[in-house]
A and B are shown apart, each in its own frame.
Chain A
Amino acid sequence: AQKITQTQPGMFVQEKEAVTLDCTYDTSDPSYGLFWYKQPSSGEMIFLIYQGSYDQQNATEGRYSLNFQKARKSANLVISASQLGDSAMYFCAMREMDTDKLIFGTGTRLQVFP
């Protein structure tokens, strides 16, 4: 069954440091997409980065990169040079080609301190 697991309920990181947020997934569909979203305290959902199951290279978007290890079924988000504005809830999500459903993990709350 399709499933996303985020094992870190909360993470702390100092400003300017890098941080990795973990995400593992489970699917039997060979074709799928993985997404990361940011939810600040204001509540909106902001799309950060996408990785396709057939993509050969890890996705990057500015300070965000995705450490995609297909054999281990993990898609960790790496935020480099953390900023205070990165403090938010982060969700990993997966969409399968077969079902078109989008499944979210339970999220990781990141706190960046000065």
Chain B
Amino acid sequence: EAQVTQNPRYLITVTGKKLTVTCSQNMNHEYMSWYRQDPGLGLRQIYYSMNVEVTDKGDVPEGYKVSRKEKRNFPLILESPSPNQTSLYFCASSGTGGRINQPQHFGDGTRLSIL
């Protein structure tokens, strides 16, 4: 089954404790992206990647890191999490054939709470 898999689905942690949210897709997609969703703000793009070893900042990259060493994986790293990073996070992927007309396939989301 074609899917984007995020782990963990839920995480409660404390300020300053490094964490990684994993994202994996099995559709051989070139484009992968991370978003955070906050009430009243919709989804905002954190980072995106056009292909292996190519990453770019979205609109809210501060406090986050990403890497794309393999095509299927795109982990999101919070080196020193803070309470303002409490949010619902989505990973998404899409093919680049035709580029802009490719819809994003989303993971089920990771609800992150930082105390």
Q: A residues near B, CB below 8 A?
A: 4, 6, 31-33, 35, 37, 43-45, 47, 50, 52, 91, 93, 95-97, 100-107
Which one, B42, B45, B106, contacts A106 given CB within 8 A? B42
Distance of B42 from chain A, by nearest CB (Å): 4
The answer to whether B45 and A52 have CB atoms under 8 Å apart is no
A44-B109, A96-B100 known; A102 and B45 CB under 8 Å?
yes
- Docked complex Cα distance between A29 and B43 (Å): 21
Contact residues of B: prevailing secondary structure: strand
The answer to whether A35 and B103 have CB atoms under 8 Å apart is yes
The answer to whether A43 and B109 have CB atoms under 8 Å apart is yes
- Docked complex Cα distance between A100 and B40 (Å): 24
Residues of chain B within 8 A of A43, CB atoms compared: 88, 108-109
The answer to whether A31 and B42 have CB atoms under 8 Å apart is no
Residues of chain B within 8 A of A103, CB atoms compared: 45, 59
The answer to whether A45 and B106 have CB atoms under 8 Å apart is yes
Residue of B nearest to A6 (CB): B42
Q: A47-B104, A97-B100 are in contact. List 11 more A-B contacts (CB 8 A).
A: A4-B42, A45-B90, A52-B101, A96-B100, A100-B31, A100-B56, A101-B59, A102-B45, A103-B59, A104-B44, A107-B42
